[in-house]
Amino acid sequence: FAALTADPDFIAALWRTGLWTVLVVGGALLVSIPVAMILNTDFYGRGLARVIIMLPWAVSLTMTAVVWRWALSGESGMLNSALIGLGLIDHNIQWLAQAGTAFPMQVLIGILVTVPFTTTIFLGGLSSIPDDLYEAAALEGATPLQQFREITFPLLKPFINIAIVLNTIYVFNSFPIIWVMTQGGPANSTDILVTHLYKLAFRIGKLGEASAVSLVMFAILLIFTMIYVRLAMREQRA
């Protein structure tokens, strides 16, 4: 543990893990709520739309990361080709070879692959809200925004809490996106704790430090889960 606190790479990975988790979990929540509300309405092709939204969840995360690594390739990537074709850029951008673009792109991909699972949770929550509440609110003259604020959001809170806890654990420990796309590079600028642990254990051979990192990760998740669940239960009782 003493070696970890003196290791700048560990400190950077610890800070980046927190940023990665907050951005991905928060972004997935912001995207999933409106998506779930749209999919909960009655429209032609709703079943197909739900299947399409859920499909990415069924694909291996490693395979998803491989596809995105190819799409973001600086030489023959689909994104560069599309942007050049649209006239938005005039030369290839090395998306994954620069610290300024690699990590933001990984966060964006993390959000995209987290949305299907989160949307599923919210769909379950929305389907449990009685339609009578919305009908009564509409008769009282409530706007859609007021209905969301006074009915949907409060009744969806338990499902939001579930999504936050499960997604935090999942994203905090997520390995494939970072490792497959950049292996923590360039120059460790996209390393998070789980990839830093892998390097310590299997590339450098510092098993003691790797074990310490795993204990730190476990402690962080345990403390977060206990505090968040306690706060959520206190709010629910209030």
CATH of the domain at 175: 1.10.3720.10
> Contact at 8 Å (CB) between 81 and 1?
no
**Residue 238's pLDDT band (cuts 50, 70, 90):** low
Q: 20 vs 134, which has greater pLDDT?
A: 20
Domain range for 189: 2-237
Number of domains in the chain: 1
Tens of pLDDT, residues 1-26: 677 778 899 999 999 999 999 999 99
Locate all alpha helices (DSSP H) within 98-206, ordered by sequence: 99-127, 131-139, 144-147, 153-172, 176-182, 193-198
| pLDDT tens digits, one per residue of 152-203 | 998 999 899 889 999 999 999 999 999 999 998 888 899 999 999 999 998 8
The pLDDT-based confidence of 142 (bands split at 50, 70, 90) is confident
State the pTM of this model.
0.91
Out of 44-53, 146-155, 211-220, which region has the weakest mean confidence (pLDDT)? Answer: 44-53
Instruction: Give the Cα separation of 159 and 123 in Å (integer).
Output: 9
Give residue 4's pLDDT: 79
What is the spatial distance between Cα 177 and Cα 192, in angstroms, rounded to a whole number? 11
Q: Cis omega before residue 186 (within 30°)?
A: yes
Residue 130: phi, psi to the nearest 5? -65, 140
Q: Following DSSP, what letter does each residue of 68-89 receive, concatenated? A: HHHHT-TTT-HHHHHHHHTTS-
- Residue 132 reports pLDDT greater than 70: yes
d(CA 94, CA 88) in angstroms, rounded, equals 15
Per-residue model confidence (pLDDT) at position 129: 87
**Distance (Å, rounded) from C-alpha 76 to C-alpha 193?**
31
Task: Give the model's pLDDT for residue 236.
Answer: 67
Confidence of residue 48 (pLDDT cuts 50, 70, 90): confident
Query: 228 falls in which pLDDT band (50, 70, 90)?
Result: confident
Q: What is the mean pLDDT of residues 113-133?
A: 91
